[in-house]
Amino acid sequence: MALLDVQNLKTYYTTLRGFVKAVDEVDFRIEKGEALGLAGESGCGKTTVALSILRILPSGGRIVEGKILFKDDDLVQLGETQIRKNIRWKGISIVFQGAMNALNPVYKVGDQIIEAILTHESDVSKREATERAQKLFEMVGIEPSRADNYPHEFSGGMRQRALIAMSLACNPELLIADEPGTALDVIVQAQVLKLLRELKTKLNLTMILITHDLSIIAETCTKTAIMYAGKIVEYGDITAIFKEPLHPYAQGLLGAFPSIRAARMRMESIPGYPPDLLDPPTGCRFHPRCSYAMDVCKKVEPKLVDISKTEHRVACHLIEKA
Amino acid sequence: MTEDKVVEVKRLVKWFPIRKGFLYTFLSGRELFVHAVDDISFEVRTKEIFGLAGESGSGKTTTGRLLLRLTEPTGGNIYFHNQDITKTSDSDMRGLRRKMQMIFQDPYESLNPRMLIQDIVAEPLRVQKIGNEEEVQEKVAQGLEDVELIPPEEFLHRYPHELSGGQRQRVAVARAFVLNPEFIVADEPVSMLDVSIRAEILNLMTDLVEKFGASFLYITHDLALARHICNRLAVMYLGKIMEKAVTEKIVYEPLHPYTSALISAVPVPDPTTKRAETVIKGEIPSPVNPPSGCRFNTRCPIAEEVCRTKEPPLIDYGDEHYAACHLIRKPQWEKHMLTKH
């Protein structure tokens, strides 16, 4: 049985101008020990998926429909207290985007981790929590003595490491990492990703990696879901998708990521701009930017269909026809 | 060979003083400086795209600004068409800026929110007093068309906030090209943009550079993009150039350990290739007190004693492949030594 099974998830934000359909009919599942890469541009709904899973949507955001099955529970139906007691941090934890802003600047980094442990595990003493925080620091490669530092005394890479340490404080089964490498320098980014990969193996973690950078997914994940305008357009094993992306958007996105190893070439680009989710295009949401768009694409929304036995799913009329 | 250099810098230095307060300076008897750019030399040739790559804090942005004299250098010389512009007066600089333009990183910051798009693009023409109002309008419309903001009439009377990030950056590109400049500095022009739009803006810029026969200095932290855009590359670290060569040489045959580390840290969008798991440790040190000797010695995997004491010079190891490292023993290098002695 899958560790996490998201079914037909719809999350909308209420604004003065109407509903923003940030996540619309999203389906995916993760088996234990897998790493899923959630890819897409800003505004495609990938972070909203993460916030929905943890039920920490900002005000105005609401799960309208769908199920999020985590082990035996449907997270959409669980009460706030149960979620806080049993799910957040212990079951599922998140490494937030922007290491610069996710730590509280007026508390020592170590204390913030200890606080997380004490809040969620009432049977742990302060001393035990301190020890665990020290161990976590060591595990992510920070001198345990630096626990008494304030966030501003840490470099960007160290802050990101501290956040990873914090997310692991209560031994979660599922770790969501939201843009873990963004805003870091290449070398530091490589260090952080290496750390994540090592931790994943060591702790047998299940991971959702949210990023706009497909090359990071190629190196870290086993499966990927590519999102566009609130919907998953292609889902499957990374080897299959990177070798032969089927959805025109996935093809375009991959073309926009030239490899440093490849011969010099002209980059492929996707014309136009992502749509306004207050009023998304009819039919396939990608049709205004798609060079293969047919009449049917403007009218009928394509379904995410399995095209092989290996769970390679694509939402595109071109594929359905073939 | 001197003919084909558009811009050349020699031993360029920029130190920013840090204000620590009078008492500190008085008592310690010294002033502190951020060594942003520390003795670098390179040239940008006619119609080439020259890339300046490095981590944040390596001094690449400062270098770009120095070239256009947006920041005053502490030392060294800048030549534009063999004319020393290091000490050129502001009023003379204004004339030169007709030929030298810049595209900034953040299109949300670099466009005046209270100006209409047509005025933003027309401003360089008006500052330089080129043409009458009719000609200005014509050039602005043409400029918007060149950056594929079509039809121009639809954008002329809008404000920047009405445009998306990609459209704004197009306006910034149009503004830079409207004077038909010979030299353009682009400072991380796509790092704020979404991936699907990034490629388009880059293609647009390289097309325009070709169309206008301009020379281009492309400042970036993204080596994968630089690889596909630049003809030549210089890798900077803590205010110094570590390696400089034709892009292919940098990517496939890096000489400097820092360049190798940087290249191997770039993720590859192909799940079947595994790159080396060796990642160098630590982060870029503070430029206030840069390490002695080779600046990279604190993170270098092969550093020796000499690296901590003596600063390595930037040496040509053959075919204009320059590197600053004590520990390079390439055949070309030995040949070079032999011919010298």
Cα B13 to Cα B76: distance, rounded to the nearest angstrom: 6
Out of A280, A297, A317, a domain closes at A280
Q: Both A149 and A70 in a single domain? A: no
What per-residue confidence (pLDDT) applies to B335? 47
Q: What percentage of chain B has pLDDT greater than the value 70?
A: 93
List A residues 259-298 in contact with B (Cβ-Cβ < 8 A).
259-262, 264-271, 273-274
Cα A217 to Cα A194: distance, rounded to the nearest angstrom: 12
Per-residue pLDDT at A62 exceeds 90:
yes
Q: Give B198's contacts in chain A (Cβ within 8 Å).
A: 256, 269
Which of B198, B199, B224 is facing A260, going by the closest CB pair?
A: B224
For residue B109, give every residue at least 6 positions away whose Cβ sits within 8 Å of its Cβ, in sequence order, or none: none
Total count of domains within chain A = 2
Order across the sheet with A206-211: list the strands: A92-95, A174-178, A206-211, A35-39, A223-228, A231-237, A313-314, A305-306
Give residue-wise pLDDT tens across range A150-200. 999 998 889 999 999 999 999 999 999 999 888 788 889 999 999 999 999
Domain residue limits at A161:
100-169
What per-residue confidence (pLDDT) applies to B25? 67
Domain with B25 in it: what CATH number? 3.40.50.300
Range B197-223 average pLDDT: 92
Give residue-wise pLDDT tens across range A274-300. 888 888 999 999 999 999 999 999 999
Q: Both A155 and A78 in a single domain? A: no
Domain residue limits at B220:
2-340
From A317's Cα to the closest Cα of chain B, the distance in A is 22
Confidence band for A322, pLDDT divided at 50, 70 and 90 = low
Instruction: Please check whether residue A316 lies inside any domain of the structure.
Output: no
What per-residue confidence (pLDDT) applies to B274? 72
Does the global pTM surpass 0.80?
yes
**Alpha-carbon torsion A150, A153, A157, A161, what sign?**
negative
Q: Give B284's contacts in chain A (Cβ within 8 Å).
A: 185
From A188's Cα to the closest Cα of chain B, the distance in A is 7
Instruction: Please check whether residue A32 lies inside any domain of the structure.
Output: yes
Instruction: Please check whether residue A309 lies inside any domain of the structure.
Output: no
* Residue B278 DSSP SS3: coil
- Could you count the other beta carbons within 10 Å of the beta carbon of residue B209? 20
- CB distance from A1 to chain B under 8 Å? no
- CB distance from B2 to chain A under 8 Å? no
Range A95-117 average pLDDT: 89
- CB distance from B238 to chain A under 8 Å? no
- CB distance from A202 to chain B under 8 Å? no
Q: Both A37 and A56 in a single domain? A: yes
Q: Give A259's contacts in chain B (Cβ within 8 Å).
A: 224, 268-270
Give residue-wise pLDDT tens across range B59-110. 999 999 999 999 999 999 999 999 999 999 988 998 898 999 999 999 989 9
Instruction: Please check whether residue A307 lies inside any domain of the structure.
Output: no
Asked if B268 and A215 come within 8 Å (Cβ–Cβ), the reply is yes
What per-residue confidence (pLDDT) applies to B43? 95
What per-residue confidence (pLDDT) applies to B277? 65
Q: Both A28 and A132 in a single domain? A: no
For residue B315, report the phi and psi dihedrals to the nearest 5 degrees.
-115, 145
Give residue-wise pLDDT tens across range B212-231. 999 999 999 989 999 999 99
From A78's Cα to the closest Cα of chain B, the distance in A is 36
Q: Both A259 and A179 in a single domain? A: yes
Domain with A16 in it: what CATH number? 3.40.50.300
| A155, two tokens | 């470099």
Q: What percentage of chain A has pLDDT greater than the value 90?
A: 72
Residue of B190, B196, B273 to mutate, interface with A, max A Cβ within 10 Å: B196
Comparing A240 with A265, which gets the higher pLDDT?
Answer: A240
Range A50-57 average pLDDT: 94
Instruction: Please check whether residue A312 lies inside any domain of the structure.
Output: no
Asked if B272 and A239 come within 8 Å (Cβ–Cβ), the reply is yes
Which of A186, A214, A239 is facing B221, going by the closest CB pair?
A: A186
* Residue B208 DSSP SS3: helix
What per-residue confidence (pLDDT) applies to B328? 86
CA B14 to chain centre: 15
Per-residue pLDDT at A231 exceeds 60:
yes
Per-residue pLDDT at B324 exceeds 60:
yes
Which residues are registered as beta bridge partners of B79?
B8, B84
Q: Both A76 and A214 in a single domain? A: yes
What region does A110 belong to: left with phi over 0, alpha with psi -120 to 50, or beta?
alpha
Instruction: Please check whether residue A191 lies inside any domain of the structure.
Output: no
- For chain A, give the mean pLDDT: 91
For residue B335, give the nearest of B322, B314, B317, B323 by alpha carbon.
B317
Range B51-66 average pLDDT: 92
Q: Both A161 and A178 in a single domain? A: no
Range B178-195 average pLDDT: 91
Instruction: Please check whether residue A141 lies inside any domain of the structure.
Output: yes
Cα B306 to Cα A272: distance, rounded to the nearest angstrom: 54
What per-residue confidence (pLDDT) applies to A281? 92
Confidence band for A317, pLDDT divided at 50, 70 and 90 = very high
What per-residue confidence (pLDDT) applies to B26? 73
CA A122 to chain centre: 29
Strands B100-103, B183-187: pairing is parallel
What per-residue confidence (pLDDT) applies to B64? 94
Q: Both A222 and A74 in a single domain? A: yes
Confidence band for B333, pLDDT divided at 50, 70 and 90 = very low
Burial of A261 (0-12, 13-18, 19+ CB in 10 A): middle
Q: Both A106 and A121 in a single domain? A: yes
Range B114-124 average pLDDT: 95
Per-residue pLDDT at B332 exceeds 50:
no
- For chain B, give the mean pLDDT: 89
Q: Both A215 and A79 in a single domain? A: yes
Asked if B196 and A41 come within 8 Å (Cβ–Cβ), the reply is yes
From B192's Cα to the closest Cα of chain A, the distance in A is 11
Q: What percentage of chain B has pLDDT greater than the value 90?
A: 70
Comparing B56 with B331, which gets the higher pLDDT?
Answer: B56
Instruction: Please check whether residue A267 lies inside any domain of the structure.
Output: yes
For residue A23, give every residue at least 6 positions away whose Cβ sits within 8 Å of its Cβ, in sequence order, or none: A9, A10, A11, A45, A48, A49, A52, A230
For residue B203, report the phi and psi dihedrals to the nearest 5 degrees.
-60, -40
Asked if A219 and B271 come within 8 Å (Cβ–Cβ), the reply is yes
